[in-house]
A and B are shown apart, each in its own frame.
Chain A
Amino acid sequence: EDQVTQSPEALRLQEGESSSLNCSYTVSGLRGLFWYRQDPGKGPEFLFTLYSAGEEKEKERLKATLTKKESFLHITAPKPEDSATYLCAVHRGRTGFQKLVFGTGTRLLVSP
């Protein structure tokens, strides 16, 4: 069964304290891995798409990496405004419509 597991469930950091969030997946034929940011009471906001092992993408203090079994979202010198839930999703390797499997997210709190 296709599955996405995110860890930790929650993470508390001090401002400037770098860390990484993990997304491990089991899916037959990965066709894309997505990272989203979600603020409380709002819809997910797209961050990155990764397509193949070894690929990396960066945006401001965030960097996403991908291996054959997991992805990491590295947060460098975080600020309080980076506090949010970060969601990972994978696209299943079947023809047809874009069916995504989501993890349950990592709640990040960055304290000043």
Chain B
Amino acid sequence: DVKVTQSSRYLVKRTGEKVFLECVQDMDHENMFWYRQDPGLGLRLIYFSYDVKMKEKGDIPEGYSVSREKKERFSLILESASTNQTSMYLCASSTLGRATDTQYFGPGTRLTVL
């Protein structure tokens, strides 16, 4: 079974702090994704990576950056956390080559910014 893990289930940070969210997948997937999920808005794509050190902006990249130094690990960075970044953050992974391949999700990190 595909296993996607995220470093924290719950996180509380203060405004202005730098925040790191980490995601690890164990299926040798090329693609990795970061989403945020908010009530009434659904899942929105923040960033996507299709290979080590490669990244693409999603629909809402402002205020975020990402890092992918190893194939299995994809990090989301909030450079200076703000209260409007309080949300559920979800990581996903999928294989490369077939555009319709399924994205498999991690358990999520509930981030609260005070």
Contact = CB atoms under 8 A, between A and B. Distances in A.
A55 to B, nearest CB: 12
Interface in A88-112: 89, 91, 95-100, 102-105
Contacts of B43: 44, 87, 89, 100, 102
B34 interface: no
Size category of the B interface is 20 to 34
Given A87-B43, A104-B40, A43 B100 contact: no
* Best-surrounded residue of B31, B41, B42, B107 (most CB of chain A within 10 A): B42
A98 B108 contact: no
A41 B108 contact: yes
Interface of chain A: mostly helix, strand, loop or mixed: loop
Given A41-B110, A102-B42, A103-B42, A31 B105 contact: no
B28 interface: no
Contacts of A100: 43, 45, 103
A100 B50 CA distance: 15
Interface of chain B: mostly helix, strand, loop or mixed: strand
B65 to A, nearest CB: 18
Contacts of B101: 98
Given A51-B100, A91-B100, A104-B42, A43 B48 contact: no
Nearest to B95: A98
A58 interface: no
Contacts of B90: 43-44
Interface of A: 31-32, 34, 36, 41-46, 49, 51, 87, 89, 91, 95-100, 102-105
8 contacts: A34-B103, A41-B110, A43-B4, A46-B103, A49-B100, A95-B99, A99-B58, A102-B43
